[in-house]
Structure 1
Amino acid sequence: MSDIIIQNLLSPVVLFFVLGIIAALFKSDLKFPQGLSEGLSIYLLIAIGIKGGIELSHYSIQSVIGPILGALFLGVVIPFITLFIMKWMKMGLDNSIGLAATYGSVSIVTYGAAISFLEENGTAYEGFMNALVVLMESPAILVSLLIFNILQNKKDVVLQSSHSMGFVSSSSNLIDKEVIRESLFGKSVLLLLGSLIIGLALGESAVPMIKPLFIDLYSSVLILFLLNMGLIAGERLPEVKKHGMKLVLFGLLTPLLFGTLGVVVGSVVGLSLGGMTLLGVLAGSASYIAAPAALKSSVPKANPSIYLGLALGITFPFNLIIGIPVFHQIASWLA
């Protein structure tokens, strides 16, 4: 186990991420232009989506239905577990929902780093795993917001119990149309799903065109992206400290809990060692793109420094340095 962690620590992807954190903590003037940062994000989403679509074209629906159901199960169950933990920690409803959506959804960059880790270790994985990234992006967000609106409506019923029309008016719209639009057609989901469909439709015929940019250069571009993510994570770390040690422990321990659950589910649905590792990484990661975008409009009272600060400042570095090799080790035990 220690050898795997050390090997991961010494990979270029992790070292450049650490360099970014150091630069942020020591207030270096190193900054990525906004346009470049956005461009790297778009590149990563398209690369993962289109490669997943091409690989998915090699499989029949019967061979992927089990992993798809497993991924959807995780997307629904993890928000409920998070809310249970938050209730025990006596966290307010808005921030609890913020964390449930964030930790139930996935981190594309953590997944990308996990792929690099598996390739460096010569571990094969199912090509359709990229498709599961798309499937796990939105369900947790929708489930979390549905729970939020149901609980809000219950409050309205209590407050308006003397008015029979109160229940009808408050429950008529459990999830706002704008929330559904953002969850299904926001940048990350749209690019992932769109690229996946394009890759699936074109299959191997697309490889000669996409290989030079989206396959050969993927690892190098990922290094640039993670340097930028290190800068952002380093800036978020001081915010997390303000909210106490309990939340810091949540950001460190829940990835292990959810990631282990993901590996176990991967084993149940018949994934390989690499596939189990990746499903564990997806389950143990936290979203900082899709979930915050939906929460900003639908749960405005949720504090971004809590859900975004934890996801970027604590969980993302933890998974990148320790979580990925740990999930790989757990998967190897089960395999």
Structure 2
Amino acid sequence: MIDPVILFFLLGAAAGLLRSELRLPAAVYELVTIVLLLSIGLKGGIELARQPFGALVPQMLAVVVMGFALALLAFPVLRYIGRLKRADAASIAAHYGSVSVGTYAVAVAYLGSREVAFEEHMPLLLVLLEVPAILVGIVLARGFSRGTRWGSVAHEVFGGKGIVLLMGGLFIGWIAGPDGLSSIEPLFFDLFKGILALFLLEMGLITAAQIGGLRRHGLFLVAFGIAMPLFSGLIGAGLGTVLGLSLGGTAMLATLAASASYIAVPAAMRMSVPDANPTLSLAASLGVTFPFNVLLGIPIYYSIATWIHG
């Protein structure tokens, strides 16, 4: 049976394609996003409080290296096979080396419905994956140019809403612990799937709006938007196994590797690589990869993790 949250995404996508007047008010979507990001961060912070931080350092370093590698691997495919402009290839590569919070949230719901446990410090790894690909994308597009305002880029990345809320949630959950958060548990934990359903409804509408951006490079971007997540998912699953993660943790790391950013990276690329066409990046990440991962990818990555774990 299809998870209800997926049906909300399909409803939004169908409404968008039918040009319905359905829209979430901007303030409601903003609130839903804030609650979702804080919920993910708080859950990760609780787990951080239960284990020594030093034990996570090898995993953190490995994930950062993976973020660099995925962007570097995507760039030549986009540049020389897709024949995209250098700026566009670098921007899209940065999107695919980074991570999607929405995809992560769906994966949490997917594993939760199957009662599959995973390492709760995954939000920390999610935050770490936001940064390396952005740096790679800027360097690939512009080189180490003196005109690059690295201070502004750092502020855009680390001061962005996603990073601040995720890191803030991690910090609050780490300090307060499970007992300290019991009073706010109904909002941030019990209502998680309901909040996710509303988020995916709006994401379906946004996805439908990005379909038009596939016209010129449509065939290549569709192929890339499906093949790259599958390839990245294999890398993530392999790394999860090497790091000794559980079945659920391996599936989550595969999902993180396979997802493509649509929040932090677009903002950073808009500032640092203005020559890149944001329509192409969002058409690939939101128009192809996000729905693919939500509908088919996450079960595939879970199957890969299951196979690897025997």
Mapped to 2, the partners of 1:107 and 1:273 lie a distance apart of 21
Structure 1 residues 73-152: aligned runs within 5 Å: 73-89=65-81, 90-150=83-143
Q: 1:229 — aligned with what? A: 203
TM-score, normalised to structure 2, is: 0.96
TM-score, normalised to structure 1, is: 0.89
**SS of 1:315 mapped into structure 2:** helix
Matched, 1:57 2:49: yes
Name the % identity.
41
Choose the corresponding residue for 1:217, options 167, 188, 191: 191
Mapped to 2, the partners of 1:139 and 1:51 lie a distance apart of 24
How many angstroms does 1:260 deviate by? 1.1
Unmatched tracts of structure 2, length 5 or more: none
Mapped to 2, the partners of 1:270 and 1:241 lie a distance apart of 43
Larger radius of gyration: 1
Mapped to 2, the partners of 1:113 and 1:19 lie a distance apart of 16
Unmatched tracts of structure 1, length 5 or more: 1-6, 154-170
Root-mean-square deviation (CA), in Å? 1.4
Mapped to 2, the partners of 1:175 and 1:75 lie a distance apart of 22
**Structure 1 stretch 203-212 or stretch 257-266: which is displaced more?**
203-212
Mapped to 2, the partners of 1:210 and 1:130 lie a distance apart of 19
Mapped to 2, the partners of 1:241 and 1:52 lie a distance apart of 40
**SS of 1:126 mapped into structure 2:** coil
Mapped to 2, the partners of 1:285 and 1:106 lie a distance apart of 5
Q: 1:284 — aligned with what? A: 258
Choose the corresponding residue for 2:243, options 265, 269, 275: 269
Mapped to 2, the partners of 1:180 and 1:208 lie a distance apart of 35
How many angstroms does 1:204 deviate by? 2.2
Mapped to 1, the partners of 2:218 and 2:211 lie a distance apart of 12
Choose the corresponding residue for 2:279, options 305, 310, 321: 305
How many angstroms does 1:175 deviate by? 5.0
Q: Which runs of 4+ in 1 moved over 3 A?
A: 171-175
Instruction: Indicate conservation of the 8 Å contact 1:20/1:230, yes or no.
Output: yes
- Equivalent pairs, count: 308
Mapped to 2, the partners of 1:77 and 1:257 lie a distance apart of 12
